[in-house]
Structure formats: C-alpha cells, structure tokens
Chain A
Amino acid sequence: MNKMEIIGISIISCIIFMALLSFGIGSIIDFPKSKQYSPPSIQNPLGTDDLGDDILELLIIGSRTSLLVGFLGALFSTIIGTIIGALSGFFRGVLDDVLGVIIDVFLVIPALPLMIVLAAYLSPSFWNIVIVIGLLWWPTTARLVRARAWQLKSAPFIESLLALGASKTYIVFKHVLPNVLGIASARFILSVSHAILIEAGLSFIGLGDPTNPSWGTMLHFAMTRGALLYGAWWTFIPPGLAISITSLAFIILGMGLEQRQKLSTRSMEDII
C-alpha cells in the first residue's frame, strides 16, 4: 500500500464509521429540540439549525445519505462505463464507432448543467439523484476502459485465444472485463468522490431529496433559511468541511489505486 492509499482509507473508514453510527443513534425525531440557531455549546457541540436540530446529529445522520448516494451513483456509472468501454474497445468496428460517438457526445456536453436540468425534470428523490449521476458520469470511465480494452486486444493471450477460435463474447466477459477491473475500480473510487460532490451540489441548489437529510441538504437549508445573514456559521461550515474532506479522501485513494494500476501494467504499455 502506498502512502496515498493509507491516508485515503483511514479518512474513509472514519466516515463509514460515522455512517454506521447513524444507524445506532436513530432518527433526528428522537432528539429534544433546542432554540433555533443556538451556537455551539455543551448541549449542542456544533450548535443547532433553523429547526433547533442538533448539527452534530444531523452531520452523522447525513453522512449516510451522502455516502450511499456517492457509492450507488459511482457504482452505477462505473458499471455502465466499464461495460460500454470494454465492448467498444474490444469489438471496434461499427459498434465502436457508435459507442465512441456516444462517449464523445457525453464528454463534450457539460455534465453538471445537464444533471441540473435532468434533476429538475425528474422529481427530487434519492433514486433519481443516483440515476442522474450514473447516467451522466460514465463517459470518462468508458473512455479509459475502452483504451485499455483496445490495448488488451493485441495482447498475446487474447491473440492466441482468437486463434484458438474462442468466441468474442467469451473473450470480452472472461478476459477483457477481469483485466479492466483494476482500472475500473480506481475509477469507481474517484467517481464516489464526484458523486458525493454532485449530490451535495444538487441538494444545495434545492434539487436533492429534502426528506433524506444529507450534507448537501444541510447546506441548502442553511442558505435558504438565513443562516448566513444570521451569522450561524456552525450550520454550514461542518457539512461543507465534511463534503470536502470526504471527497478529498476518495480522490486520494483513487489516485493511489490508479498509480498502482499504472505500475502493474507498465511492461504491457511499454511494449504494445
């Protein structure tokens, strides 16, 4: 394990621990309410928001949604990207031309504005956010996997399988996919960080699911219920930092994995 991976994994474990903790502490309903916008105190270590809810509890409960949306959105986009990339890179020909154009189109159109439009069109809900992230975040993964699949196509073991008469679908699923899994998992980790940021962004501008408390919705209500003017910094600094640190952790881990991926395939890339 390299240094980046260790840093990333330790931060992420803390946050996952936080999300697990949220199941233990139950729902925000079970907590006594305090005055709205109370500053940090012994009773409310991070103060309260406009409904008098404890920010610390919200932060812990919100980690669940933020992480879950992050993971599911990333998973969804990685699966789409990997399959499209592998098929496209391996089969080339018409399929690749078509998929290549689709990938390019998705890469060219600015994803964030499109996500905003899509999220606004679909009603705000947990699954819609996951779907929006999944549908629009796959092209980068697809492009990387496609390049790798293309390289693999001229690797000796694939050539010999072709000479043996193995079917192409067999080769794609049994050999190409397992071989792009490394790069796909590095992309997956990076996508989690993007998905967390996107969820936060969409929730912040009010396109998230307001009934599922997340760090993004905390920011949203801080901004729309006057916390800034009130000077209630404790309502937006903690979720803001939580979002930044979490996505940073996933980026660091993802980069660590990507580096390892590069090292292990150096020989292949150099020769082919």
Chain B
Amino acid sequence: MKLKNEPSREDVELTAINVSKIYGNKTLALDRVNFSIKKGERVCIVGESGSGKTTLAKILCGMIPPTSGEIRFLNKRIDEMSEMERRIFRIKVQYIPQLPDLALDPTWYLYDSLVEPLRIHKLIASKQEERDLVREICEMIGIRMEVLMRKPGNVSGGELQRVVIARAILLMPYILIADEPTSMLDPSLQAKIIKILLDIQSKYNMGMIFITHDLELAKYVSNRIFIMFKGKFVESGLTNEVLINPHHSYTKSLILNNTS
C-alpha cells in the first residue's frame, strides 16, 4: 500500500514546544507543555479525566490552535506551513477521537465515511483502487464488508471503533494519536482493538501516541510515558523506569489507585 505525495524521509518528528492552551480566557487546560514523538515510537500520555490530554492531542494534530507555544512537524512550524506542506501534515498526522459514537457522521453510510478522507485529498485515482484499498484495510483490521453498508446507529461500538481506526490508517499516517481508544468498549474488545493498533504500528513503523488513564495498558503498549496533571507534565521518561520508580507524588497516587 503506497500513497501519493509521501515524503520519503525517516526523520519524521512531531514536537510541541512550550504549548499552553487557555479556553475562553479562564480555563488553563495546558500549561507550557513540551512533548515530542518520532516515527516508530510508542508513547503514552496518562492522566486523570480533565487533565488536558485531549486538548494536547487536538493541538498536536492541528485541530485547534495553541494559545501560546508552537507545534513543529518535519521541522516546520505548522502555522507557518505552505499549502502543500500543510496538506502533508494533515494527511500524515491522524487523530482517532475519544468518542466513537459521534466520531462519524450519523447520517452517512460507514463506507462513505471511511473513504471520505481519501476523496477529500483526492489520493486515489479510481473507484476500483478505492475498493481494493478498503478491502485490504478491512481485512487487516477485521471489519466485515457488510458492516460498511450500514450507518453508525446500526453497528456495535467495537465495529464503529474499528471503522474509525481504519479511516485514520487509510491515510498511512506517520503519527497516529489514539485518544482513549478503548474506554467505551468492554474488556474483551479492548484487548482486540489494542492488538490491532499495535500490529499496525509495527507494520508501518508509525509513531503512535496512546492517550489513556489506565496504567496497566500504558505499561503494555508504550516505551515512553508522560504523566499529565492539571495541564502539566509532572513526570516523563521510559515507561518502566517511571512506573517502577516514580518521583512525583501524583504518579505515586496514580500507581496506588491503579493497583488497588
């Protein structure tokens, strides 16, 4: 599987430098955060609900602008990119949103939603090519084709989440941000979805950001971890080191709560 306009480089890096976000002049959601991820890395961001994880994810993929600080992709500030560079950024950094039920247009057939990003960016030449690509992805992720002939209201949470993941994967991103991808699913499904994501990551050598509040999961999927508390990273480092030897009191309480 190969898409047009792929920059032929291996040194892909997505960086956040001193990023702050204030919502509506009062909520400080992010406070001078520094973060970076390279192609091939698996990184976890862990923090309790409301700590600013989603905000950071949205800023990283350019969905919302930061109040201050900068985001760099391929060594270029994303707000200073040319149209061409911007297009590549939009294709190559993908975000899987937190809520699967409104992650896709409820009035659209899943097939159309699935291929919509390809169509918007005119990444494929023919209907035939499109169908082949979809078939390939669906096989890989485990989506039955007839599911795609339905609308979001008529499929299960697991199926929907797979389609949302497939939609992001179709674009062959360098960096994939998965925002609590399993929080709405029951445990048996959770494991399957995580496995799919990890398989894809290694197959295409993507950089993958997992956002979660589950330390066990973090331990399992990531080699680097960031602990977020009230809009700040209070601790970061190799996952094993941080979890075995936490410095910050918040990390300690997290570990305590998780094990109990």
Contact = CB atoms under 8 A, between A and B. Distances in A.
Contacts of B58: 159, 163
Given A166-B120, A178-B107, A160 B97 contact: yes
Nearest to B62: A163
A170 B120 CA distance: 10
Contacts of B106: 179
Interface string A164-175: 111000100001
A28 interface: no
A157 B105 CA distance: 6
Contacts of B108: 175, 178
A271 interface: yes
A155 to B, nearest CB: 5
B61 A157 contact: no
B169 to A, nearest CB: 14
A157 B167 CA distance: 11
Nearest to A162: B63
Given A164-B117, A164-B120, A165-B86, A159 B63 contact: yes
Contacts, number: 55
A271 B62 CA distance: 23
A271 B184 CA distance: 14
A163 B95 contact: yes
Interface in B61-117: 61-63, 86-87, 90, 95, 97-99, 101-108, 113, 116-117
Nearest to B63: A163
A163 B120 CA distance: 12
Contacts of A175: 105, 107-108
Contacts of A166: 120
Dominant SS at the A interface? helix
A117 interface: no
B121 interface: yes
Nearest to A175: B105
Interface residues of A, number: 20
Interface string A145-187: 0000000000111011111111000100001001101000000
B103 A156 contact: yes
Given A163-B90, A165-B86, A165-B120, A157 B107 contact: no
Interface string B181-206: 00000000000000000000000000
B249 to A, nearest CB: 32
Nearest to B113: A157
Contacts of B120: 161, 164-166, 170
A166 B91 CA distance: 12
A268 interface: yes
A162 B106 CA distance: 17
Interface string A195-232: 00000000000000000000000000000000000000
A43 interface: no
B98 A156 contact: yes
B102 A163 contact: no
A159 B177 CA distance: 14
Contacts of B98: 156
20 contacts: A156-B97, A156-B99, A157-B97, A157-B113, A159-B63, A161-B116, A163-B58, A163-B61, A163-B63, A163-B95, A164-B90, A164-B117, A164-B121, A165-B86, A175-B108, A179-B107, A181-B107, A268-B102, A271-B99, A271-B102
Given A155-B102, A157-B102, A268-B102, 4 more contacts: A160-B63, A161-B116, A163-B61, A164-B121
Interface of A: 155-157, 159-166, 170, 175, 178-179, 181, 264, 267-268, 271
